[in-house]
Amino acid sequence: MNATPAYKDASLPVDRRVEDLLSRMTLEEKAGQLFHSMLMMNPDGTPVTETDGSMLPFTTPELIEDRLLTHFNLLGTYGAREMAQWQNTVQEMAAATRLGIPVTLSTDPRHAFTDNVGASFNAGAFSAWPEALGLAAIGDPELVHRFADTVRREYLAVGFRVALHPQIDLATEPRWARQSGTFGSDARLTGELVRAYVRGLQGPELGPASVSAMVKHFPGGGPQKDGEDPHFAHGKEQIYPGGMREHHLEPFKAAIAAGCAQMMPYYGQPVGTDWEEVGFGFNKGVITGLLREELGFEGIVCTDWGLLTDAAIFGQTHPARAWGLEHLGVAERAARALDAGSDQFGGEQCPEVVVELVRSGRVAESRIDDSVRRLLREKFRLGLFENPYVDPDAAAETVGRADFAAMGAAAQRRSLTVLTNPGGLLPLSAEQAPKPKLYVRNVDEAVAAAYGEVVADPAAADLAVLRLRTPYEPRGNLFESFFHSGSLAFPEPELAEILALLDTVPTLVCINLERPAVIPEIAERGAALIADYGASDDALLDVAFGRAVPEGRLPFELPRSMAAVAASRPDVPNDTEDPVFAHAHGLPL
């Protein structure tokens, strides 16, 4: 009768369990740990067993049983019970492999309003909060801790054990597409909030009740040339004309001090510095020299997604984001990332490349062992070997629970930022009789009807309520179209149409700031102007009618013109000339 392997004995120290399991692993099993790929699921909670290759090249059984991967992030929005059932099925597949190493499931943010398959998912079944920018607008570390603790509890219910967030880049280039996921332009505030965020997810130390925080994007992804995003080749350059490279490291120092378990280097290729001009996932001076040796980070380093191989996304081929190393083959790119100090390849599923690197002598197996130790240690610390399964009934009861939803709704209201209120229009009387006649645009008429009489003609209204989103330039590539880039100003004739409404009837304008919109004419001519960062129509109207108190302050400045944006330095916070609204502007009601 065979004795129970030491790695399955929960009474033993984690490091002993790690070494026992590592000693039993084949090279192929070790290589599988180094890949953190994507999965999708069917809406009924069953795994994907067929694929057309338009998004994912392999089925779930192929990845787990054949390619021996055990780290995955889930794409898409589904019901809580179905996600829990799916994760249990995935864990059953993993348990049936030779060593039974459990799967670690991760997710991009899914507690707000952004829906971008490459970055974030709308809340769906989860409690809905403002985007990270909205949490920054409130600026309350205790609230951020409660938010992260809520995320932790909802994630645990369905089996997510790694959060591919928080994102703590500084929003210093106004055109950059990823700002809604940041805490804005203030390094000090970002540091305070990330400390609260990491502790809310992980607790005092990483354990069975934790969700591991993968902080991103080291060493700070904000200073993108022309604000273009390095998911795409035309956005690969990261520059520091203001000499503030060290400033962008401050939030990451706070995250490390808080004990974050994982770190994701960015895609960007630094240009014009003393760093090697290769993407950060391949950059030894940044990962080993700066992150590991100088800053003392001992956790897992997982690259951003898709650094090694070209990939089909929505049926279109996107080149590997191997910026600065485009001339190398897949194997040599992988070797460079491993040499740099990366432990895991995000969004990739080619373990055979690592196997061949070791067998050819290009990479020592001991180097692979170093990373596998870190990855296995986290699985043990999270308690996945003892409790890989979740309760679908409990998931359905926990995710989106009434008290979680209420906290998120309250945070939406608190985050709203009053930018102008020149005539004292706000707050409107909640008890006004008769109710005001409201003309609404981009607002649910059924919601508005609870606050006033909705009319179809703005000329017949006492007040108009207009919701807008930050402008952007449409991009032809379907995947890139999710990353809102380019001009921040409304083009004609859209601006003329907006201003015509403002001249017809006193108008409350609410603009969703996923980036710093250029809106000087709207600010001047609106009867009142509010910024939101993810808020329901109810939240907006509750604030407008005095049923809730807005507390928000701008997490970045709002520029006066696109010329001012183009002239600003992308690494310098709040650097545009004569902004319409300064950073931290916000009026009380």
DSSP-assigned beta bridge partners for residue 581 = 558
Q: Give the pair of three-digit tokens for residue 373.
A: 């130790």
Do 111 and 123 contact (CB within 8 A), yes or no? yes
> In 3-state terms, what secondary structure has residue 30?
helix
Q: Give the pair of three-digit tokens for residue 405.
A: 């939803």
Do 77 and 37 contact (CB within 8 A), yes or no? no
Q: Which of 108, 149, 304, 542 is catalytic?
A: 304
Do 565 and 518 contact (CB within 8 A), yes or no? yes
- Of the candidates 116, 42, 52, the residue with the CA atom closest to the CA atom of residue 315: 52
Answer yes or no: 343 catalytic. Answer: no
Instruction: Please tell me the distance from the alpha carbon of residue 521 to that of residue 495, in angstroms, as a whole number.
Output: 9
Instruction: Please tell me the distance from the alpha carbon of residue 197 to that of residue 4, in angstroms, as a whole number.
Output: 39
Q: Give the pair of three-digit tokens for residue 341.
A: 């100090």
Q: How crowded is the C-beta side of 541, counted as CA atoms within 13 Å?
A: 23
Q: What sign does the CA torsion over 27, 28, 32, 34 have?
A: positive
Do 571 and 222 contact (CB within 8 A), yes or no? yes
Tell me the pairing of strands 160-163 and 237-238.
unpaired
> In 3-state terms, what secondary structure has residue 277?
coil
One DSSP character per residue, 109-122 reads --SBS--BTTTB-B
Do 266 and 280 contact (CB within 8 A), yes or no? yes
Kindly state the helix (H) or strand (E) to which residue 537 belongs, with its residue range: helix 537-544
DSSP 226: G
Q: Give the pair of three-digit tokens for residue 201.
A: 């997810």
Residue in this structure with the two tokens 């209201």, named with its chain if needed: 413
Q: Give the pair of three-digit tokens for residue 203.
A: 């607790």
Q: Give the pair of three-digit tokens for residue 550.
A: 């807005």
- Of the candidates 556, 588, 585, the residue with the CA atom closest to the CA atom of residue 227: 556
> Which residues have C-beta within 8 Å of that of residue 307, sequence separation ≥ 6?
267, 279, 281, 282, 320, 321, 322, 333, 337, 345, 346, 347, 348
- Of the candidates 402, 408, 399, the residue with the CA atom closest to the CA atom of residue 533: 408
DSSP 386: T
Report the C-alpha dihedral over residues 539, 541, 546, 548, rounded to 10 degrees.
Answer: 0
Q: Give the pair of three-digit tokens for residue 368.
A: 């692979």
> Which residues have C-beta within 8 Å of that of residue 54, sequence separation ≥ 6?
312, 314, 315
What amino acid positions are annotated as catalytic residues?
304
